[in-house]
A and B are shown apart, each in its own frame.
Chain A
Amino acid sequence: MSSRERILGRVRRALADVPGDDTPYERAVVRDYLREHGGRTVDETVDLLAENLADYRAIVHRCAAGELPSLIAALLSGRGARTVLVPPGLDPGWLAAAGAERIPDRAESDPHELDRVDSVVTACAVAIAETGTIVLDGGPDQGRRRITLVPDHHICVVRVPDQVVSSVPQALGRLDPVRPSTWISGPSATSDIELDRVEGVHGPRTLEVVLVSGR
Chain B
Amino acid sequence: MSGTYLGMPAFPAAAREAVGNPTLRGNLRHATHTIRAKRAKAVAEVEDWAELREAGKRIKDHTLRHLDTYLERLEESVTAAGGVVHWAADAEEANRIVTALVKATGESEVVKVKSMATQEIGLNEALEAAGIRAYETDLAELIVQLGKDRPSHILVPAIHRNRGEIRDIFRDEMAAWGRPAPEGLTDTPAELAEAARLHLREKFLRAKVGISGANFMVAETGTLVVVESEGNGRMCLTLPETLISVVGIEKIVPAWRDLEVFLQTLPRSSTAERMNPYTSMWTGTTDEDGPGTFHLVLLDNGRTDTLADEVGRQALRCIRCSACLNVCPVYERAGGHAYGSVYPGPIGAILSPQLRGTGSEIDASLPYASSLCGACYEVCPVAIDIPEVLVHLRERVVQGGPVTRAGNKVVLRPAKGHAAERAAMRAARWAFGRPGALRTGQRLASRTRRFHPRTLPGPGRAWSATRELPPVPAEPFRDWWQRTHGGEAGGK
Q: How far is the CA of A190 from the CA of B200 in the complex (A)?
A: 15
Contact B278 A188 (CB under 8 A): yes
Q: Return the contact of B193 from the options A2, A22, A112, A200 (Cβ within 8 A).
A: A200
CB neighbours (8 Å) of B93 from chain A are 3
Q: How far is the CA of A77 from the CA of B259 in the complex (A)?
A: 40
Q: Does B31 sit within 8 A of A, measured CB to CB?
A: yes
19 A-B interface contacts by CB (under 8 A): A4-B87, A7-B298, A8-B72, A13-B404, A33-B261, A52-B274, A56-B277, A128-B275, A177-B283, A178-B221, A183-B263, A183-B275, A185-B278, A192-B156, A193-B163, A195-B32, A195-B326, A198-B189, A201-B139
Q: Does A43 sit within 8 A of B, measured CB to CB?
A: no
Q: How far is the CA of A22 from the CA of B258 in the complex (A)?
A: 19
Shortest distance between the CB of B404 and any CB in chain A (Å): 7
Contact B192 A37 (CB under 8 A): no
Contact A15 B140 (CB under 8 A): no
Contact B47 A15 (CB under 8 A): no
Shortest distance between the CB of A107 and any CB in chain B (Å): 4
- Contact status of A30 and B279, CB under 8 A, knowing A3-B87, A3-B88, A172-B257: no
Q: Does B273 sit within 8 A of A, measured CB to CB?
A: yes
Q: Return the contact of B89 from the options A6, A33, A199 (Cβ within 8 A).
A: A6
B134-146 CB mask vs A (1 if < 8 Å, else 0) is 0001111001000
A1-41 CB mask vs B (1 if < 8 Å, else 0) is 01110111111111101100011010011111110010000
- Contact status of A182 and B189, CB under 8 A, knowing A15-B65, A192-B138, A202-B231: no
Shortest distance between the CB of B418 and any CB in chain A (Å): 27
Can you name the residue of chain A whose Cβ is closest to the Cβ of B196? A201
CB neighbours (8 Å) of B378 from chain A are none
B272-307 CB mask vs A (1 if < 8 Å, else 0) is 011111111111001011100000001010001101
Q: How far is the CA of A146 from the CA of B282 in the complex (A)?
A: 13
Contact B65 A183 (CB under 8 A): no
Further contacts, 20 of them, CB under 8 A, given A11-B67, A128-B275, A181-B281: A3-B93, A7-B298, A10-B404, A29-B59, A33-B48, A33-B52, A37-B48, A133-B275, A144-B290, A145-B237, A146-B289, A149-B234, A177-B223, A178-B81, A178-B283, A180-B280, A182-B279, A188-B229, A192-B156, A194-B189
Q: Does A90 sit within 8 A of B, measured CB to CB?
A: no
Contact A186 B197 (CB under 8 A): no
Q: How far is the CA of A29 from the CA of B262 in the complex (A)?
A: 13
Can you name the residue of chain A whose Cβ is closest to the Cβ of B286? A180
CB neighbours (8 Å) of B162 from chain A are 194
Q: Does B389 sit within 8 A of A, measured CB to CB?
A: no
Q: Does A111 sit within 8 A of B, measured CB to CB?
A: yes
Most buried by A among B87, B290, B304: B304
Shortest distance between the CB of A170 and any CB in chain B (Å): 9
Can you name the residue of chain A whose Cβ is closest to the Cβ of B308? A14
Contact A10 B407 (CB under 8 A): yes
Q: Does B107 sit within 8 A of A, measured CB to CB?
A: no
Contact B55 A33 (CB under 8 A): yes
Most buried by B among A149, A186, A191: A191
CB neighbours (8 Å) of B230 from chain A are 188-190, 192, 201-203
- Contact status of A190 and B234, CB under 8 A, knowing A17-B310, A28-B62, A112-B205: no
- Contact status of A193 and B193, CB under 8 A, knowing A182-B279, A202-B230: yes
Can you name the residue of chain A whose Cβ is closest to the Cβ of B309? A14
Q: Does B338 sit within 8 A of A, measured CB to CB?
A: no
- Contact status of A203 and B231, CB under 8 A, knowing A188-B278, A193-B166, A193-B192: yes
Contact A131 B274 (CB under 8 A): yes
Q: Which residues in chain A, 158-185, are within 8 Å of chain B measured between CB atoms?
A: 168-169, 172-173, 177-185
Q: Does B149 sit within 8 A of A, measured CB to CB?
A: no
Contact B87 A189 (CB under 8 A): no
B337-365 CB mask vs A (1 if < 8 Å, else 0) is 00000000000000000000000000000
Contact B68 A15 (CB under 8 A): yes
Shortest distance between the CB of B182 and any CB in chain A (Å): 15
- Contact status of A25 and B55, CB under 8 A, knowing A8-B71, A145-B234: no
- Contact status of A201 and B193, CB under 8 A, knowing A8-B71, A12-B68: yes
Q: How far is the CA of A193 from the CA of B46 in the complex (A)?
A: 27
Q: Return the contact of A132 from the options B27, B156, B274 (Cβ within 8 A).
A: B274
Contact B89 A3 (CB under 8 A): yes
Q: Return the contact of A25 from the options B62, B249, B259 (Cβ within 8 A).
A: B62
Contact B34 A195 (CB under 8 A): yes
Most buried by A among B27, B229, B256, B273: B229
Shortest distance between the CB of B490 and any CB in chain A (Å): 46
Contact A184 B278 (CB under 8 A): yes
Q: Does A130 sit within 8 A of B, measured CB to CB?
A: yes
Q: Does B239 sit within 8 A of A, measured CB to CB?
A: yes
- Contact status of A8 and B66, CB under 8 A, knowing A168-B260, A182-B234: no
Q: How far is the CA of A11 from the CA of B162 in the complex (A)?
A: 43
- Contact status of A130 and B274, CB under 8 A, knowing A33-B52, A33-B55: yes
Shortest distance between the CB of B96 and any CB in chain A (Å): 11
CB neighbours (8 Å) of A3 from chain B are 87-89, 93, 300
Q: Does A91 sit within 8 A of B, measured CB to CB?
A: no
Can you name the residue of chain B whose Cβ is closest to the Cβ of A128? B275
- Contact status of A192 and B34, CB under 8 A, knowing A18-B65, A22-B66, A183-B275: no
Q: Return the contact of A185 from the options B260, B276, B305 (Cβ within 8 A).
A: B276
Q: Return the contact of B197 from the options A2, A107, A194, A202 (Cβ within 8 A).
A: A202
CB neighbours (8 Å) of A33 from chain B are 48, 51-52, 55, 261
Shortest distance between the CB of B242 and any CB in chain A (Å): 15
Contact A192 B143 (CB under 8 A): yes
Contact B407 A13 (CB under 8 A): yes
Shortest distance between the CB of A13 and any CB in chain B (Å): 7
Q: Does B201 sit within 8 A of A, measured CB to CB?
A: yes
Q: How far is the CA of A178 from the CA of B222 in the complex (A)?
A: 9
Can you name the residue of chain A whose Cβ is closest to the Cβ of B75? A4
Contact A192 B139 (CB under 8 A): yes
Contact A202 B235 (CB under 8 A): yes
- Contact status of A190 and B139, CB under 8 A, knowing A172-B257, A184-B277: yes
Q: Return the contact of A189 from the options B206, B277, B288 (Cβ within 8 A).
A: B277
CB neighbours (8 Å) of B143 from chain A are 192
B376-404 CB mask vs A (1 if < 8 Å, else 0) is 00000000000000000000000000001
Shortest distance between the CB of A108 and any CB in chain B (Å): 9
